[in-house]
Chain A
Amino acid sequence: MAGTHCGPHAPRRGRDAFGLGLRPPFYREAMRGAVPVGWLELVTENFMVDGGRALHVLDAVREHYEVALHGVSMNLGGTDPLDEGYLRRLEALVRRCEPVRVSDHLCWTRHGGHHLHDLLPLPHTREAVIHVAERISRVQDRLRRRILIENVSSYARFAGDEMPEAEFLREVCERADCLILLDVNNVVVNAHNHAFDPQLYLSALPAARIAQVHLAGHRASGPLRIDTHDRPVAGETWALYAQAVRRFGPVPTMIERDEEIPPLEELLSELDAARRIAAQARAA
């Protein structure tokens, strides 16, 4: 399937490579173009509507910003057939807003017609690699562009896993010829939850496929780390981000905040920290 996709799928690396996840408290500012960032990431499903406020927001935001679409329920790892209706709506949305990137997760979200609204883990097996890669290829053919697949936070691992997570992610993406949305916070969370070395994880990834980075905060809960997106990015995550920049170069980077959303200035200053760390890492 390599080389068969056209469209604006290559990450644009001009101007400001730093962005934020668009959330309702900032809709107004974003619609006026008053959020000083290079691009905004939108949660795909929130804009899969026929009309009303969401599309009004989308069109206004699009006047000022490039946008990336980030889905949470394509169910790429699921065994239910791909959802035709979902793909049709996604296609229409892509046509409407011409996003610079379209992404979803390396996980499953639905089974037997029931949606679980969570990013659920896959066993790291050959069976899963082949299954997920084939589905990603079908979506890419359908959208006629490459999509990005994000590594998810997880709390369970299988006794019989056939490969480590980074290898699983790499195998899927190479087989499907898709790009990677690297969530650095999720690597930190999983490294802790499943006792692996996050640096080895990074070094196992195919650098040329890393097309976007997520940063976010998490919490400790008993022996586990939980991916909560409700606080600032942790020190460990910043440190791993610096290494990611050294390894993968200047990739479009953004902060995700979904709970306890602070005033915009606070998020912007956190994003400035990302700019500083990236600049230092590249200079080093």
Chain B
Amino acid sequence: MRPPSLAAWQGRLKRYLITGEDDPELQRWLAGSPDEAVLRLEVYRNAYYIRLEEALARDYPVLRAVLGDAAFGREMARYLRARPSASPTLRHVGQALPAHFEAHRRLPVADLCRIERAVLEAFDAADVAPLGAEALHGLPPEAWQGLRFSLHPSVSLLQVASNALDVWKAFRQKRRMPELAPGTARSLVVWRSPRGPAATAVSSEHRFFLERIAAGEPFASICEALWLRDDRREVPEVAACYLAQSIRNGWLTRMRTGR
């Protein structure tokens, strides 16, 4: 028996691991009896599933608690078949889980996954000093027009249409979790606070404000855009309030002045 080429062996073993379907060609390539080959290949197949499911359970503890162990295991097996890992880092195995549940129209579950994903990403985000409250002190009035900021790398802006945030918070605070259910649209900010990962709901207007910040727009044009959204608002006061709250929470970094 000639040994398989590297590419043939790797392609077939990969397919076997991902689909879980037996492959007689693989068995033929191995030394020993066919029964023995089956047993040896199964060691790899079982290890593959166990390792990846464990990683997903570590990264999505709230999802696991919501679904229960058995359903979680079934869902993760389905997910791993549909979207094999695309990253060398085990922590990224669950990267596509929100998209997976979205594709299956399980939107509240997808919302919860997005929150858990954002928490993980916040954990590993770059260390950049957040802007302190003193940053704005003594700024001449004419400087305000051209102020620009960046969002802190740990900040994610999410939009959900469920009570996923309440479920996540209840789990974190070891309270009884409400049942995960569809709900009204809410804007969320997930970030790394000095005390660990944090998530909060913000108004859609505040979210809009943060999106413009992230896009690198100067403060004056963000105020203008806010005014265009709702010309009855006291825009400068509202914008100053969003700015102050964002700075207090450590969501902003890198203030630049000038055009």
> Complex formed: what's the CA distance from A159 to B37 in Å?
10
Give every chain B residue within 8 A of A109 (Cβ-Cβ): 88
Give every chain A residue within 8 A of B88 (Cβ-Cβ): 45, 73, 75, 83, 86, 109-110, 115
Q: Does A160 have its Cβ within 8 Å of any Cβ on chain B?
A: yes
Q: Does B125 contact A50, Cβ atoms closer than 8 Å? A: yes
Q: Does B43 contact A224, Cβ atoms closer than 8 Å? A: yes
Q: Does B89 have its Cβ within 8 Å of any Cβ on chain A?
A: yes
State the interface size on chain B (CB cutoff 8 A): 49
Q: Does A116 contact B43, Cβ atoms closer than 8 Å? A: no
> Complex formed: what's the CA distance from A83 to B3 in Å?
26
Q: Which of B7, B28, B31, B86 contacts A79 (CB 8 A)?
A: B7
Q: Does B85 contact A117, Cβ atoms closer than 8 Å? A: yes
A110-B88, A156-B40 given; A118·B10 CB < 8 A: no
A54-B124, A157-B30 given; A113·B86 CB < 8 A: yes
Question: Separation in Å of the B154 CB from the closest CB of chain A?
Answer: 8
> Complex formed: what's the CA distance from A55 to B153 in Å?
15
Q: Does B14 contact A111, Cβ atoms closer than 8 Å? A: yes
Q: Does A128 contact B6, Cβ atoms closer than 8 Å? A: yes
> Complex formed: what's the CA distance from A131 to B47 in Å?
26
Q: Does B6 contact A77, Cβ atoms closer than 8 Å? A: yes
Give every chain B residue within 8 A of A223 (Cβ-Cβ): 36, 39
Q: Does B10 contact A127, Cβ atoms closer than 8 Å? A: no
Q: Does A10 have its Cβ within 8 Å of any Cβ on chain B?
A: no
Q: Does B244 have its Cβ within 8 Å of any Cβ on chain A?
A: no
Give the nearest-CB partner of B88 in chain A: A73
Q: Does A45 contact B41, Cβ atoms closer than 8 Å? A: no
Q: Which of B3, B44, B123, B127 contacts A125 (CB 8 A)?
A: B3
> Contact residue range for chain A?
35 or more
Give every chain A residue within 8 A of B125 (Cβ-Cβ): 50-52
Q: Does B31 contact A161, Cβ atoms closer than 8 Å? A: yes
A155-B43, A156-B40, A222-B39 given; A50·B84 CB < 8 A: no
Q: Does A95 have its Cβ within 8 Å of any Cβ on chain B?
A: no
Question: Separation in Å of the B198 CB from the closest CB of chain A?
Answer: 14
Give the nearest-CB partner of A155 in chain B: B43
Give every chain B residue within 8 A of A122 (Cβ-Cβ): 6
Q: Does B144 have its Cβ within 8 Å of any Cβ on chain A?
A: no
> Complex formed: what's the CA distance from A53 to B124 in Å?
7
Q: Does B31 contact A117, Cβ atoms closer than 8 Å? A: no
A50-B126, A114-B84 given; A156·B14 CB < 8 A: no
Q: Which of A48, A123, A158, A222 contacts B89 (CB 8 A)?
A: A48
Q: Does B184 have its Cβ within 8 Å of any Cβ on chain A?
A: no
Q: Does B44 contact A123, Cβ atoms closer than 8 Å? A: no
> Complex formed: what's the CA distance from A232 to B55 in Å?
24
Q: Does B126 contact A51, Cβ atoms closer than 8 Å? A: yes
B-contact bits for A48-62, CB 8 A (1 contact / 0 none): 111111111000000
Q: Does A21 have its Cβ within 8 Å of any Cβ on chain B?
A: no
Question: Separation in Å of the A19 CB from the closest CB of chain B?
Answer: 23
Give the nearest-CB partner of B17 in chain A: A116
Q: Does B89 contact A45, Cβ atoms closer than 8 Å? A: yes
Q: Does B43 contact A108, Cβ atoms closer than 8 Å? A: no
> Complex formed: what's the CA distance from A117 to B6 in Å?
18
Q: Does A156 contact B52, Cβ atoms closer than 8 Å? A: no
**Chain B contacts with A in 9-67, Cβ cutoff 8 A:** 9-11, 13-14, 17-18, 28-32, 36-37, 39-41, 43-44, 47-48, 51-52, 55
Q: Does A91 have its Cβ within 8 Å of any Cβ on chain B?
A: no
* 9 further A-B pairs in the complex, CB-CB below 8 A; given A114-B86, A120-B44, A159-B3: A45-B89, A51-B126, A79-B10, A108-B6, A111-B14, A125-B3, A157-B30, A160-B1, A161-B31
Residue pairs across A and B with Cβ atoms less than 8 A apart, 21 shown, are A51-B124, A52-B125, A53-B124, A73-B89, A79-B10, A117-B51, A117-B90, A123-B4, A123-B9, A127-B6, A155-B44, A156-B43, A157-B30, A157-B31, A158-B29, A158-B31, A159-B30, A160-B3, A160-B29, A194-B31, A222-B39
Interface residue ranges, A against B (CB under 8 Å): 45, 48-56, 73, 75, 77-79, 83, 86, 108-118, 120, 122-125, 127-128, 131, 155-162, 194, 221-224, 226
Q: Which 4 pairs from chain A and chain B are nearest by CB?
A: A160-B3, A73-B88, A51-B127, A50-B126
